[in-house]
Amino acid sequence: MNMNNHKNNNKSTFNAKLWNGIALVAGIFAFIISILLITNYLQTNRIDPINTEVINQLVERLSENPEDELLREQIREMDLLVRKAYFTNRWQIRTGGLLLIFSVALVILAMQVINLTGKAKPEISEEKYITSFIVQKKARKWISIGGGIIVITALILAFLSHNELEYKFKDASKLAVNDQTSGSDNIDTEIVDEKDDAMLNSEDKQEANIVDQKTESKKTIPETEKSDVKEAKEKPGTKTSYDFPSNEQINKNYPTFRGPGGRGIAYQKNIPVNWVGTTGENILWKSDIPLAGYNSPVIWGDKLFISGAISTKREVYCFNANTGKLLWTALVDKIPGSPAKAPDVTNDTGHAAPTLATDGKQVFAIFSTGDIVALDMNGNRIWAKNLGVPNNHYGHSSSLMLYQDKVIVQYDHKGSAHIMALDVRNGNIVWKTKRQVKVSWASPIVVNTGNRTEIILIADPFVASYDAETGEELWSIKCMYGEVGPSVAYSDGIVFALNEYASLVAIKIGDKAEILWEDYEYLSDVPSPVATNDYLFVATSYGVVLCQDTKTGTKYWEHEFDNGMYSSPIIVEDKIYLIDNKGIMHIFNADKEFKLIAESPLGEGTVCTPAFADGKIYIKTNKNLYCIGNN
């Protein structure tokens, strides 16, 4: 019995020593953090980390000499330093506060455990034990009071320094940005509203969202738009008018990937079905491409736009759609927040995979770096910004889409999946919605469902719809998985989504979307499907094409071509144009019975989806740009 008591006493002594040690270490750690937070507060009040006074002096000097470009550049650089100082200090304060709270909680927990488990009575006289206990109790009391005062003081000062730093940051930011004819409203919305966005690329993202406003004052902005931008900044909550194109104008042109709204339908007439690239039959012109890129052509009027890039250079090109002459090249560089080194991408994605978008007034392009740029139709830069470097193991490839005066960007990346709408006038974020999805390489589509306009996206695990005006999620269906490449198709109230090794899903949309039918036989990993009111057409990357009933999923036919394909099928004049990887265009009826109309060889392989405009077909390869028409 005495042996058991001795063991229990040893065990109790060990536990008490262990938790005493934990309490001691946690207490010392809390004390150190408290001292650091108090010191930080004193330093923040003694030394301004934002350098507000310096910025004041620079801005005052610039007001006296507004043409001093060197001074203006110094303010820009100081503006960047402001943001770095702000985010570094804010992170230190937040992290210190959380560590302090954690360590104090650990001390309290350790003391509670010690009190509950008890402590073995030492082998000394009862009188000495009681005296020692009283002394220790008083010591613990004063240590607790003193420590508590230090901890509370540190937390209060951390809160005050955090707020004071934010006020200084806003003041300094407003000074710098106002100097560049950008209003303070953008600082409040882009910085304060975004400050809790998981700290993802925080420095780059915030620098891009703020400093990018300065590009609006560059000389490349047409004089007619300078006054509009200024007026919009001076009247918070208002927008300058923007004459966005009508549906008739959009359908007459080919403004985005897979045509108007990205739905895979071209509203063109008199498109040729026969040509031979090697002999020049029906080849109206052929032009070299300066830098390669897997994006497809977009066209407005007599201008055609593509982009090209390598790791060290990004460019936008404009060709005359009638002659093939290269009209201008716009170098996309010197964008605030852009990474010094381009991210790693795979060869089959590259640095210029996303297709551009144009509304006839401007053209918009995005690259693997997260750089997005708006140019006027003559190649002058209107605005540019960096959206944060995409965390994507293949490279960013989601194409841009347009809705009225908004550029729609699907930005589904590791740790930062969201869709956003940027104002075409200045690149400001109109709305931005987080998405609980994995990386996606698909592109958004825009559809008018009769009572509203929806933006529909696909990514693992959701097919989801968002209000084009507000970004609010309208509905979502958990039905997809894997590395999603194909975009969705839409027709007559039904969305069609698929991915290889997953499934083909038909979704009846409405206030409450529901799955209409599913199929697992033929799936695609790259080409996007296309649909009429009655028939759905699916092209696989290994060369099989099939036709199914849109309402039931009933398969009408399947046909296997000799070559695989990455290009997506496009419906034109009740015919489907589908080019394979060898450059052979397969043309067949968009009907429930397969009828091959023609197979026309380009003589050069391609993985890009063709564009259609003014009775012509435009096909892009890695090296050349072709225009095909009826001679």
Q: Which of 67-71, 180-184, 207-211, 620-624 has the highest mean pLDDT?
A: 620-624
The residue that leads in pLDDT, 470 or 162, is: 470
Question: What three-state secondary structure class fits 319?
Answer: strand
d(CA 175, CA 167) in angstroms, rounded, equals: 12
Strands (E), 351-461: 357-358, 362-366, 371-376, 381-386, 401-403, 406-413, 416-423, 429-434, 445-448, 453-459
The residue that leads in pLDDT, 487 or 151, is: 487
Q: Are 73 and 192 in contact (CB under 8 A)?
A: no
pLDDT at residue 30 is higher than 70 = yes
Q: Are 494 and 516 in contact (CB under 8 A)?
A: yes
Q: What does the pLDDT look like over 201-255, one tens digit per residue?
A: 443 444 334 334 333 333 333 333 333 333 333 344 446 789 999 999 999 999 9
In 3D space, the residue among 475, 391, 468 whose CA is nearest the CA of residue 431 turns out to be 468
What pLDDT was estimated at residue 192?
34
pLDDT class of 415 with cuts at 50, 70, 90 = confident
CA dihedral 197, 203, 208, 210 (to 10 degrees): 80
pLDDT average, residue stretch 100-116: 75
pLDDT at residue 376 is higher than 70 = yes
Q: What does the pLDDT look like over 435-484, one tens digit per residue?
A: 999 999 999 999 999 889 999 999 999 999 999 999 999 999 999 999 99
pLDDT at residue 603 is higher than 60 = yes
Domains of the chain: 2-179 (no CATH), 247-628 (2.130.10.10)
Question: What three-state secondary structure class fits 433?
Answer: strand
pLDDT class of 96 with cuts at 50, 70, 90 = confident
Q: Are 442 and 458 in contact (CB under 8 A)?
A: yes
In 3D space, the residue among 395, 396, 434 whose CA is nearest the CA of residue 417 turns out to be 434
Q: Is 397 exposed, middle or buried (0-12, 13-18, 19+ CB in 10 A)?
A: buried
The mean of the pLDDT values for the chain is: 81
d(CA 547, CA 596) in angstroms, rounded, equals: 13
Strands (E), 276-405: 283-288, 298-300, 303-310, 313-320, 326-331, 357-358, 362-366, 371-376, 381-386, 401-403
What pLDDT was estimated at residue 247?
93
d(CA 568, CA 579) in angstroms, rounded, equals: 8
What pLDDT was estimated at residue 85?
61
pLDDT average, residue stretch 345-358: 95
d(CA 99, CA 94) in angstroms, rounded, equals: 9
Q: Are 572 and 271 in contact (CB under 8 A)?
A: yes
Tokens of 320: 């005359």
Tokens of 416: 């930062």
pLDDT class of 173 with cuts at 50, 70, 90 = very low
pLDDT at residue 178 is higher than 80 = no
pLDDT at residue 591 is higher than 60 = yes
Least confident range of 139-143, 302-306, 476-480, 560-564 = 139-143
pLDDT-above-70 percentage for the chain: 71
User: DSSP string covering 63-112, please?
Assistant: HH-TT-HHHHHHHHHHHHHHHHHHHHHHHHHHHHHHHHHHHHHHHHHHHH
What pLDDT was estimated at residue 42?
73
Distances (CA, A) of 135 to 21, 113, 140, 553: 19, 21, 9, 83
d(CA 80, CA 82) in angstroms, rounded, equals: 5
Q: Are 285 and 323 in contact (CB under 8 A)?
A: yes
pLDDT-above-90 percentage for the chain: 59
Rg (CA), the chain: 31
Tokens of 373: 């740029």
Question: What three-state secondary structure class fits 15?
Answer: helix
pTM metric for this prediction? 0.65
Q: What does the pLDDT look like over 185-201, one tens digit per residue?
A: 333 333 333 433 433 34
Q: What does the pLDDT look like over 131-156, one tens digit per residue?
A: 554 555 555 566 667 667 877 886 78
- Say what angle helices 69-117 and 2-46 make with each other, to 10 degrees: 160
Pairing of strands 265-266, 570-572: parallel
d(CA 598, CA 488) in angstroms, rounded, equals: 27
In 3D space, the residue among 187, 29, 199 whose CA is nearest the CA of residue 101 turns out to be 29
pLDDT class of 21 with cuts at 50, 70, 90 = confident
pLDDT average, residue stretch 11-29: 72
Q: Are 84 and 51 in contact (CB under 8 A)?
A: no
pLDDT at residue 166 is higher than 60 = no
